[in-house]
Structure 1
């Protein structure tokens, strides 16, 4: 079958799976086409290669020379380069754990949200570049997940912020205690504060270790309730351990 000519594609590497003995299939979120899968043929074989596996580490920002066939099946990558190389993420164990967790979240989001969304792509790219420059990471992952809901249709409605409960199923504040899946004080106040705080000011929010873990659990549950196939990321417990300090 005929393959389209190579074109420049701007991509965020989300994850990959092994294919055969020496190849990988990489999932990327692209500016131009949304979610795309690429065959990285022979990338695990010995010897010199134009394309290295290291380019496709979680949430790397890439510029690809890639081809794509008319049926929108697997594309093929001819050349790749880092579009915005990170200066700290690859060398910081906490940041690496954080981007691995976020890649698990994004992989599940992009299974359901496959089409192009330039605003979402640029938001993720901007925040990853921001993360690379930061030293205080305490609740970045929680804020990031909440902000992602703006783009996928279930951003929390906190207009009645004085109500004692946040109903995770309806996504709204409630004066009546919900039967299941809700947030109350003191977590409710942190939930509202985080939603109203800019990324640059997150360092001023300092929940306890227990509160931070509960906040993350509630955000993950919020995703489970609103995205049909979403499952809690496997790296959640590891992330809670790494980010146990304020």
Structure 2
């Protein structure tokens, strides 16, 4: 088997899966190649000196990898790994950690359906992670990010008729006629419009009750389920909702 030469890869860690007793397979979204899976051989072993720490592959860690890819299958091998930018608050803040676990689940489902490189999407994700690391008003971060993410993956809501009473989740359009399938009406419809038109830096100024945040998130997840064939509600949704009960 021939291997490509080592190359520098800019990556965002999405998830790891245990492989055998001592190894992991890491799914990373990369700037150059889209979604890539890498073998981390022996990273869980207690008997060998490890060059790479498992902690580097916490969800949404920004990474710089030296990796080689086996040209005969999709698994690559990482020779060296380091944080591209160290986090200041995410590892130490339970709310931020819950948000990155949730968004990592969302992103893994999104990018696995289109494995071509998408540098603009990579940059969007990177900027939002760094924003989260430096901000404190977090209550709508995940909802705003999911709505903005639709611009990159082909089903951004069409709001050409903002005064129409209904938003059809299946067509992604405003409509004056009540849809037969899933739809939004006020007040959820108006908050979708408000969030889509609000800069990320201003999202913290929008104050909503916990119950309404949950309803808003549920509506966005439903929208994803309708437009991405294999998308399912992230398993971490309930944990996230529980944490926000205390905020």
TM-score, normalised via structure 1 length: 0.98
Q: Distance in 2 between matches of 1:217 and 1:54?
A: 31
- Work out whether 1:156 is the aligned partner of 2:157: yes
1:100 maps to which residue? 101
- Distance apart, 1:244 and its partner CA: 3.7
1:42 maps to which residue? 42
Point out where structure 2 has 5 or more consecutive residues left out of the alignment: none
Q: How does 1:1-246 map to 2 (within 5 A)?
A: 1-46=1-46, 47-244=48-245
Please list the CA deviations of residues 111-158 of structure 1 after superposition, one character each: whole Å capped at 9, or x if unmatched: 101110000000100110111000110101000001111010000011
Please list the CA deviations of residues 199-222 of structure 1 after superposition, one character each: whole Å capped at 9, or x if unmatched: 000011112111110100000000
8 Å Cα contact 1:209-1:245 kept in structure 2: no
> Quick one: structure 1 residues 184 and 198, their matched pair in 2 at CA, closer, same or farther if it must change by over 3 Å?
same
Aligned residues: 246
Q: Distance in 1 between matches of 2:97 and 2:2?
A: 39
8 Å Cα contact 1:16-1:25 kept in structure 2: yes
- Distance apart, 1:224 and its partner CA: 0.3
Q: Distance in 2 between matches of 1:146 and 1:178?
A: 21
Hey, which bits of structure 1, 4+ residues long, moved more than 4 A?
none
Please list the CA deviations of residues 52-80 of structure 1 after superposition, one character each: whole Å capped at 9, or x if unmatched: 10000000000000001223511000000
CA RMSD in angstroms, aligned pairs only = 1.0
8 Å Cα contact 1:190-1:207 kept in structure 2: no
- Distance apart, 1:241 and its partner CA: 2.1
